Structure 1
Amino acid sequence: MSTRDAWIEEGLRILAEQGAPGVRTDRIAARLGLTKGSFHHHFAGAPDFRRAVLGAFEERSAAALAGVVAEATDRSPADALALLGERATDLLDQPLETAVRAWAFQDDDARAAMARVDRARYEALEAMWTGLVDDPADARTAALLPHLVVIGATMALPAIDRADLSRLFDLLVRLVPYTDAEFGGTTAD
């Protein structure tokens, strides 16, 4: 791992542990055993570093989503949603996302990064629902439920246990009213 990447990784760890106020050059330098000169060699100041940390958060979120979407690609829509239930906690680094969401209330860059992550997740959910319901408006609305569950889970205090979140997604999948013959007829039990 490059020194620049080490700075960013440590920034992500501190962000998850302490929130945005903890993302300070002196703290990160001390934890890494590096100098502030090393920081300035890799970043054009604190705003540049914060953008790099947010970029890494976005990349991780996008990679996790892409992995689940790729795995779901060859599945029926119902099986794709079931997979979402199985992988819900893989898509979410809860402490990190909670910190970024809190930061987004105070910082334009954090708000933009979180909005891009949310938009990508919502669009993936909508695509899954489009295969299950006939009306595109219903697909958009249905996609909101798991999307808002994730957002709520990241902001809940005390934090939602990963196992509880996974069980919640399993329950959501079981509540889907499949009406297409491909899914064995109507099953809203």
Structure 2
Amino acid sequence: MANTGADVVPLSPRKRLLAASIRLFYRNGIQSTGVSELCEVAGVSKRTLYQLYGGKDELIAAYLEHMSDKLVIPVERKLFDDELAPADRLAQLFDRPDPERFRGCPFHNASVELTTPGHPAQPVIHAYKENFRRRIADTAREAGLRDPEDLGRSLMLLYEGASALATSTGDVAAFDSARPVAEKLIREAAA
């Protein structure tokens, strides 16, 4: 029987606003995306946004909470790819991203844009970065690599640098330069 669409449940206004923020904040930037544009894309009124989220700042925090899911960000999925050996998962963090879709780390981008002390998104950003570092260290531990905490910090620093440089220059080749360094660190930790 063909799907007539009658059984499709429309997204709630809250979910539509979140979907609009995911689409617009990453592509255009947080500060460049206004409340009017968010509401237009979501098909809701400004009043609805303020009733549901209290304001743009709280929507930003909700956007980042959503993005912190391990399966949303492609680099995160690599760390959970059980078909690869743990050491290979670490090296795969440095695969060249698709230049047409890559706009950097949404958490780094948000941190650069949101400089107001006490912004509701700051704790979400800090928690994500700590969890990402911990996942890298846990993967190093799973691989049986020496000093996984130190290796996790080093690989995260290398990844963050490659990602920031690629974002700043618009050239994802930074990952091509970072990968051999990452592989060397992984080899040395295995010896």
User: Would you call these one fold, judging by a TM-score over 0.5?
Assistant: yes
Q: Does 1:151 align with 2:160?
A: yes
Q: Which of these residues, 129, 132, 145, is aligned with residue 133 of structure 1?
A: 145
Following TM superposition, by how much is the alpha carbon of 1:102 offset from its aligned partner in structure 2, in angstroms?
A: 0.8
Q: Which amino acid aligns with 1:171?
A: P
What does residue 70 of structure 1 align with?
A: 80
> What is the total number of aligned residue pairs between the two structures?
174
Question: Could you tell me the TM-score, scaled by structure 2's length?
Answer: 0.68
Structure 2 unaligned residues grouped into runs of 5+ = 1-10
Distance 1:155 1:101, change over 3 A: farther
Distance 1:105 1:154, change over 3 A: farther
Distance 1:41 1:56 in 2: 19
Task: Provide, for residues 55-101 of structure 1, a one-character-per-residue CA deviation record: whole Å limited to 9, x for no partner.
Answer: 223236766466323314x6444333333334x748x7516344212
Q: Which amino acid aligns with 1:161?
A: D
Q: Which of these residues, 7, 13, 20, is aligned with residue 10 of structure 1?
A: 20
Q: Does 1:124 align with 2:160?
A: no
* 2:70 and 2:76 in contact (8 A); partners too: no
Q: How does 1:1-189 map to 2 (within 5 A)?
A: 1-59=11-69, 64=74, 67-72=77-82, 75-86=84-95, 89=97, 94=104, 96-108=106-118, 109-130=120-141, 131-134=143-146, 136=147, 139-156=148-165, 158-162=168-172, 164-175=173-184, 176-177=186-187
- Stretches of 4+ moved more than 4 A in 1? 60-66
Following TM superposition, by how much is the alpha carbon of 1:104 offset from its aligned partner in structure 2, in angstroms?
A: 4.5
Distance 1:20 1:149, change over 3 A: same
* 2:93 and 2:159 in contact (8 A); partners too: no
More helix, by proportion: 1
Percentage of pairs with the same residue: 12
Task: Provide, for residues 1-55 of structure 1, a one-character-per-residue CA deviation record: whole Å limited to 9, x for no partner.
Answer: 4332221222233323443323432232234453223324533333432322222
Following TM superposition, by how much is the alpha carbon of 1:123 offset from its aligned partner in structure 2, in angstroms?
A: 0.9
Question: Could you tell me the TM-score, scaled by structure 1's length?
Answer: 0.68
Structure 1 stretch 4-13 or stretch 150-159: which is displaced more?
A: 150-159
